[in-house]
Chains A and B, each alone.
Chain A
Amino acid sequence: MNLLFLTADGIFTGLKPCGTFWSLIFILILLILCLIIAKDIKHKHTDDTVRVLGNSYYAIYGINFRKHTYHIIKGSDYIKKRLPVYGKYEDLLDVMSEIIEKNAYKEFADNFSIENINRLVSEKIKDFGGEFLRLFDNEYKWVTVRVLYDETLPSDEAILCFREVDSERRWQLKQLKLLKDSLASSKRSEETKQAFFSNMSHELRTPLNAIIGLSELAKKNLDDKERLTDYIDKIKLSSSQMLAMINDILEMSRLEQGKVVLDNKQFSLVKCIKKCTDIFTSQAELEGKFFSVDINAKAEYVFGDSYRISQLVNNLLSNAFKFTPEGGNIHAGLKTWADNNTIYCRLTISDTGIGMSKEFLEHIFEPYARETRFASRSINGTGLGMSIVHSLVTQMGGQINVESTLGKGTTFTVTLPFASAGEKETPVQPVTKEAYSLNGIRILLAEDNEINMEIAAEILSEYGAEVVQAWNGKEAVEKFTASPDYYFDFILMDMQMPVMDGCTAAKAIRQSGKADAADITIIAVSANAFSADIAAAAGAGMNAHISKPIDFSELYRILNKYAK
């Protein structure tokens, strides 16, 4: 028998069966071996792929998309219990439908159908997948599914693998929610701000329109003195309304930006509340209203900002008085109790005034919230009082509640926590001379009152300072300008003096053109510690402000701070 072979040069060669037969067999065996090794290498690649995948995927299935079958490479516990290692792909999808979340299953079945896997392979899409919720025992967890396909796999096979990504997916969802929430809240705050500006502009326009209109009228009636006076009085009134509004807006914006720093010091809550209510006792008498105060304090001394507490109480009481007609009752109650080192203060301000509607109550702490039905009454105010109260209470870590019935009255309850400051006022520590020294310091002291001058001069000299006295602002300016440059180290300037007040004098000194005019430290001294005074002092170019009676240790602290 002759066997024909096609040789490399294209010529058929006839081989003799005898000697060459075994060679032929050998070549055949060699070819088969090569094929087996090649297949082994390919299998090895597949195994490697599977091993790598197996580390991160809890289930891996080989899918033969020509035969429509699956085989389990690594099965999930659920599938292993329900299905054999080899089977129809249809069965695998059926069992999966039991554990894939209902809403996601249809989409899953469409995307991972044999047809679609076929399409992915033909389009050479090597990695395709998505995420869905899958039931593990009794709990749904996020799972990612992928169809993988590459050249290392048999040509009719793809791999379907599943990985649990619950914690990372939940983290992502949480981040997304946070992002969405913060977007929404920034949008809301933007809207609130817009509303605030639009209301503010509206509120400011009312007095401003009045000012413009009245100025026009005044101009037309220049010869009628009586009418002119009336217009000017009204212009003044509208301007002062505007000023009050602007002041409140500034205060509100400082509060909102967290720029109001609480000046926490030891103080007596009882004394502070009494001081606030005393003013209103006189007002009640004057307006024919009944005002009662009830103080039940188990703890008195706290660390807090008494100025802000007074501001809060004043705002609440002013409102109560404003909305309570003659003959009505207003009540202020203070209750304090201690719990370990915290002292709680409950402040109740109630009145039998006109009250508020339920709808309005929800908006009471919003800027410019006003019960419009009462617009016909002429209610003075900036519309920011309650917002300021609310911000202050929040900043102090307290709570404010309001109850009100239309026509019957309103009750505000403020609860504030404070750090306890002991049972007694801290005794004033004597200031020892050893601790402080002003040796070699030259101070220009401007003060109009003899006793005050003597006390301040006495204290300063006692500590070694050289004091030059000026009895009013004008004298202070003259002494400063007549002195050699850098002669004085400090100027202590009383705010209120005859001839020339402290602010005018400070401005004149700063503008005097002397070499040290801009550098000299000027400290304002005043019996008033109202923020307006402090602001006025700063506006006039003074460096610091201290209040009377002069607390030497405080003065020394300030002098030290500015000492060159």
Chain B
Amino acid sequence: MDNETKKQLIEAGIDVNKGVLRLMGRTDKYLSLLKKFPQDDSFAKLKDAFAREDCTAAYNAAHALKGISANLSLELLNERVCLQMSILQSAYNDENPQQKYTKLKLAEKLIPRVETAYDAAVKAIRSL
């Protein structure tokens, strides 16, 4: 991977070094997995779940996105999803319908922040 590509990925909040290390130094394997990320539909599912005000679906989608972003070292995205996830977790466990709804709406407010990180990562990956 040339320095320019690496720089581009790092600027998009991707910790390339960590990702490559996780795959035992196999840069090619890491890049091929990265390239699969734009096809992953977790983020689309997350937005859709918020639109439908479906707390369980939002929780599941955020959970999946949290796992993938962590595995691929999409650090910026992961950090933002984690924050959103903590609110969704609380909403998911809340039995009080009114509080559940308030928390879900609170988590939805963080979507623009998550989306910025998601778009940046996808854009950098697509240019590979």
Residues of A participating in the B interface, judged by any CB pair closer than 8 Å = 233, 236-237, 239-240, 243, 275, 278-279, 282-283, 285-286, 428, 430-431, 433, 448-452, 454-456, 458-459, 462, 496, 526-528, 530, 532, 548-550, 552
A549/B73 in contact, CB under 8 A:
yes
Q: Which residue of A lies closest to B73 (CB)?
A: A549
Query: Which chain B residue has the least Cβ–Cβ distance from A462?
Result: B24
- Residues on B with C-beta less than 8 A from A454 are 33, 36
Is A455 touching B33 in the complex (CB atoms < 8 A)? yes
Contact across chains for B89 and A459 when beta carbons are under 8 A apart: no
A285 to B108, alpha carbons, bound, how many Å? Answer: 13
Q: Which of B42, B89, B97 contacts A528 (CB 8 A)?
A: B89
**Residues of B with Cβ closer than 8 Å to A?**
17-18, 21-26, 29, 33, 36-37, 40, 42, 60, 63-64, 66-68, 70-73, 82-83, 85-87, 89, 93-97, 102, 105-106, 109-110
Partner of A240, one of B68, B83, B95: B95
Asked if A449 contacts B64 (CB within 8 A), the reply is yes
Set B70, B72, B110: member contacting A282, Cβ < 8 A: B110
**Can you sample 22 A-B contacts with CB below 8 Å?**
A236-B96, A240-B95, A279-B87, A282-B106, A282-B109, A282-B110, A428-B21, A430-B21, A433-B24, A449-B64, A450-B40, A451-B33, A451-B72, A454-B36, A455-B71, A458-B33, A459-B23, A528-B66, A548-B66, A549-B67, A549-B70, A550-B22
CB–CB B40/A528 < 8 A: no
| Cα of A430 to Cα of B83 in the assembled complex, Å | 28
Query: Which chain A positions have C-beta within 8 A of B94?
Result: 240
Known: A240-B94, A240-B95, A285-B109. A452 touches B68 (CB 8 A): yes
A-chain residues with CB within 8 Å of residue B95 when the two chains form the complex: 236-237, 239-240, 243
Residues of A within 8 A of B40 (CB): 449-451
Do A451 and B37 form a contact, CB below 8 Å, given A236-B95, A283-B106, A530-B89? yes
**Structural contact, B18 and A528, CB atoms closer than 8 A:** no
Extra contacts, 13 of them, besides A239-B95, A282-B110, A433-B24 (Cβ < 8 A), are A240-B96, A449-B40, A454-B33, A454-B36, A458-B23, A459-B22, A459-B24, A462-B23, A462-B24, A528-B63, A548-B71, A549-B67, A549-B71
What residue of chain B has the Cβ atom nearest to residue A495's Cβ?
B63
Q: Which residues does chain B contribute within 8 Å of A275, judged by CB atoms?
A: 82-83
Nearest-Cβ distance from residue B126 to partner chain A, whole angstroms: 16
From residue B118, how far is it (CB to closest CB) to chain A in Å?
14
Q: Which residues of A contact B37 (CB under 8 A)?
A: 451
- Give the distance to chain B from A472, nearest Cβ to Cβ, in Å: 13
The 5 A-B pairs with the shortest beta carbon distances in the complex, nearest first, are A240-B95, A527-B67, A549-B70, A527-B66, A548-B67
Question: Does A450 contact B36, Cβ atoms closer than 8 Å?
Answer: yes
A279-B83 contact, Cβ under 8 Å, with A243-B95, A286-B106, A552-B22: yes
A residues in contact with B83, CB < 8 Å? 275, 278-279
Q: Smallest Cβ distance from A530 to chain B, in angstroms? A: 7
Q: Smallest distance from the beta carbon of A551 to chain B beta carbons, Å?
A: 8
B24 nearest CB neighbor, chain A only? A462
Which single residue of chain B is at the shortest CB-CB distance from A494?
A: B67
Q: Do the beta carbons of A550 and B71 come within 8 Å of each other?
A: yes
| In-complex Cβ contact of B63 among A243, A459, A527 (8 A) | A527
Q: How far is the CA of A430 from the CA of B17 in the complex (A)?
A: 10
Summarize A's interface: helix, strand, loop or mixed: helix
In the complex, what distance in Å separates the CA atom of A548 from the CA atom of B42? Answer: 16
Q: How far is the CB of A553 from chain B (nearest CB, A)?
A: 11
Name the CB-closest residue of B to A430. Answer: B21
A428 to B70, alpha carbons, bound, how many Å?
14
Assembled-state Cα–Cα distance A426/B22 (Å):
16
Chain B residue nearest to A456 (CB atoms) is B71
Chain A neighbourhood of B60, CB < 8 A = 496
Instruction: Choose among A286, A455, A496 the residue with the greatest number of B CB atoms under 10 Å from its CB.
Output: A455
- A240-B94, A449-B40, A527-B66 as given contacts; A455 in contact with B106, CB under 8 Å: no
B-side contacts of A459, CB under 8 Å: 22-24
* Measured CA separation A496–B59 after assembly (Å): 10
Query: What separation, in Å, do the CA atoms of A548 and B64 have in the docked complex?
Result: 10
Expressed in whole angstroms, the Cα–Cα distance for A361 and B83 within the complex equals: 33
Q: How far is the CB of B44 from chain A (nearest CB, A)?
A: 14
- Checking B36, B96, B97, B109 against A451 with a beta-carbon cut-off of 8 angstroms, the contacting residue is B36
Q: How far is the CB of B68 from chain A (nearest CB, A)?
A: 5
**Within the complex, what minimum Cβ distance (angstroms) separates A302 from chain B?**
20
Q: How far is the CA of A426 from the CA of B26 in the complex (A)?
A: 22
Beta-carbon contact of B64 and A549 below 8 Å: no
Known contacts A233-B97, A275-B83, A282-B109; A449/B68 CB under 8 A: yes
Once bound together, how far apart are the Cα atoms of A448 and B24, in whole Å? 23
Q: Which of B22, B36, B83, B110 has the most CB of A within 10 A?
A: B22
By a CB distance below 8 angstroms, the chain B residues around A458 are 23, 29, 33
CA distance A451 to B37 in the complex (A): 7
Of B86, B87, B109, most buried by chain A (CB within 10 Å of CB) is B86
Q: Give, as a whole number of angstroms, the nearest-CB distance from A340 to chain B.
A: 32
- Report whether A430 and B25 are in contact in the complex, using a CB–CB cutoff of 8 Å: yes
Is A496 in contact with B72, judged by CB distance below 8 angstroms?
Answer: no
Asked whether A451 lies within 8 Å of B71 as measured between CB atoms, the reply is yes
A458 to B30, CA, bound (A): 10
Chain B residues lying within 8 Å of A449, measured Cβ to Cβ, are 40, 42, 64, 67-68
Q: How far is the CB of A10 from chain B (nearest CB, A)?
A: 118
Q: A279: which of B18, B63, B67, B86 is its contact (CB, 8 Å)?
A: B86
Q: How far is the CB of A399 from chain B (nearest CB, A)?
A: 28
Residues from chain A with a CB closer than 8 A to the CB of B89 are: 528, 530
B18: nearest chain-A partner, CB-CB: A428
Q: What's the Cα separation between A237 and B110 when bound, in Å?
A: 27
Which residues of B sit under 8 angstroms from A462, Cβ to Cβ? 23-24, 26
Contacts of B110 in A (CB 8 A): 282
Instruction: With both chains docked as a complex, state the minimum distance between the C-beta of A405 and any C-beta of chain B, in angstroms.
Output: 30
A548 and B70 within 8 A (CB)? yes
Give the shortest distance, in Å, between B25 (CB) and chain A (any CB). 6
Q: Which residues of A contact B87 (CB under 8 A)?
A: 279, 282
Contacts of A455 in B (CB 8 A): 22-23, 33, 71-72
> What is the bound-complex CA distance between A527 and B42, given in angstroms?
14
Write the nearest CB–CB distance from B75 to chain A, whole angstroms. 10
Distance to closest chain A CB from B14 (angstroms): 13
B18 to chain A, nearest CB (A): 6
